[in-house]
Amino acid sequence: MVTLTRKIRFSAAHRYYLSDRSPEENTRLFGPCAYPHGHGHDYVAEVTLAGAIDPSNGMVVNISELKSILSSEVMSILDGEYLTAEHPLMAGRIPATEVIADLIWVRVDAALRARALPATLQQIVVAESRSLWSGCTASPTNPEHRMYTLTRVYEFAAAHRLHSECLDPNANRELFGKCNNPHGHGHNYVLEVTLKGDPDPRTGLLVDLAEMDRIVNAEVVDRYDHRHLNLDIEEFRELNPTSENLVKVIWDRLDPYFSEDSLHRVTIRETERNIFTYERDPR
């Protein structure tokens, strides 16, 4: 099986507001996203198909056909729109990234079937910014079921020194090089936290973003930002603060706060080239 991904961009405004709730309740639920005149994003969507290579042309599917589907089923209905729960496309749901990803899935999947294209829809990812995106992925065990994820990005600046008490000073210097500097060194860490689950059928939201932010900021960002991990953070008093250990420690701090195993993945970007991920074992 081979996958191919096509990226598209569209601009839209949206407002999070439920007409059967009071203005105060909407503000409590959605914060500034409930402001009366809405706000907008330059969305980026990635559509991934999967299939076998056709030996006659070397392709899974003609990319021109996929472009045509995305133009008619996505761009023409979303680009330049003002999306609210009352918009016909939203069917009473809040126009969050989770809902938009689901909407794109339904329309693209129907178009693929109608055209009898030899590929199946594998994943939709919709990003409203560099710090928030949602995914809709085919279940590996049940093609009719979809798994939904939401990823939120945070940042913190911290110093650390890579040093193992199991090694002598020479071995530490040889293994860790400059990272064994006695005074440490620092990074602008980028933290990606991904939750999974089924969106609320009324709102379309997978998680309360304000509550997610509160948890991650309290347990990780505020705790680690502008700290020396070896000297200031209890977990690393005797644990070498490699990014492998850091991502696992962050996972362990966050996991108890999210119900029903909804914490799906934690990623630490130590630099643009060094990326570390801890993910829940499949069951």
pLDDT of residue 84: 95
Domain check: are 192 and 81 in the same one?
A: no
> Is the pLDDT reported for residue 213 higher than 70?
yes
For residues 186 and 258, give the distance between their C-alpha atoms in angstroms, rounded to a whole number: 30
Distances (CA, A) of 37 to 20, 82, 100, 210: 18, 10, 19, 21
pLDDT of residue 278: 97
Structural domain span for residue 223: 150-279
Q: What's the rounded mean pLDDT across residues 224-236? A: 95
Q: Where are the alpha helices (DSSP H) in 12-156?
A: 23-30, 63-70, 76-78, 97-114
For residues 211 and 213, give the distance between their C-alpha atoms in angstroms, rounded to a whole number: 5
pLDDT of residue 10: 97
Q: Is residue 215 part of a domain?
A: yes
Q: What's the rounded mean pLDDT across residues 159-182? A: 90
Query: What CATH number corresponds to the domain at position 233?
Result: 3.30.479.10
Number of domains in the chain: 2
Q: Is residue 143 part of a domain?
A: no
pLDDT of residue 127: 98
**What are 46's two structure tokens?**
């990635």
36-95 per-position pLDDT tens digit: 999 999 999 999 999 999 999 999 999 999 999 999 999 999 999 999 999 999 989 999
**What are 165's two structure tokens?**
């008490």
Q: Phi/psi of residue 84, each to 5°?
A: -135, 175
Residues taking part in catalysis: 179, 226, 270
Domain check: are 119 and 158 in the same one?
A: no
84-142 per-position pLDDT tens digit: 999 999 989 999 999 999 999 999 999 999 999 999 999 999 999 999 999 999 887 77
Domain check: are 9 and 119 in the same one?
A: yes
Domain check: are 11 and 34 in the same one?
A: yes
Domain check: are 20 and 89 in the same one?
A: yes
Cα end-to-end span (Å), the chain = 23
Reported as a pLDDT band with limits 50, 70 and 90, residue 283 is low
